Amino acid sequence: SLTHQLGEARRGVQSAHEALRRARERELREEMAAERHAAEVTSLSSACRETAAQVRQSISNLSGYLEGSEYLDVLQDTIQSADSLFKVAANDATEMSLEKAQHAQREGRHALTDLERQQR
């Protein structure tokens, strides 16, 4: 009957509206999560750049003292690998880059700690 078909059509429209509402809510949640992630990566990238600058300054301060020493070469290698990770963290806002940024930050902190120990 026409009434039955109309009822079916109405339920179909309601179902489609509900599916659309859920899809929009999911999209909004995903957008918010992506924004939070991007902010976290940006913050970590900034911290990485700060650490890299501190490490470079410490190496500069110690370069005369460490001139020709194997230790300086090892530290410079550490800085180069950390720098490449800092660049990834700064430019690539993916889950992996967040992990890489955290790793780079740890590497930089270790190098900075080593340098500070040498200065004492």
Q: pLDDT truncated to tens, each residue of the chain (120 aa)?
A: 888 888 888 888 888 888 899 999 999 999 999 888 888 877 877 777 777 777 777 777 776 666 667 776 777 777 777 667 666 655 655 555 667 667 766 776 777 677 667 666
- Provide the residue range defining the domain that includes 92: 2-119
Report how far residue 19's alpha carbon sits from residue 97's, in angstroms, rounded to the nearest whole number.
33
DSSP 68: T
Domain tally for the chain? 1
Write down the pLDDT at residue 25. Answer: 93
Please name the helix (run of DSSP H) or strand (run of DSSP E) that holds residue 118, with its range, or none.
Answer: helix 95-119
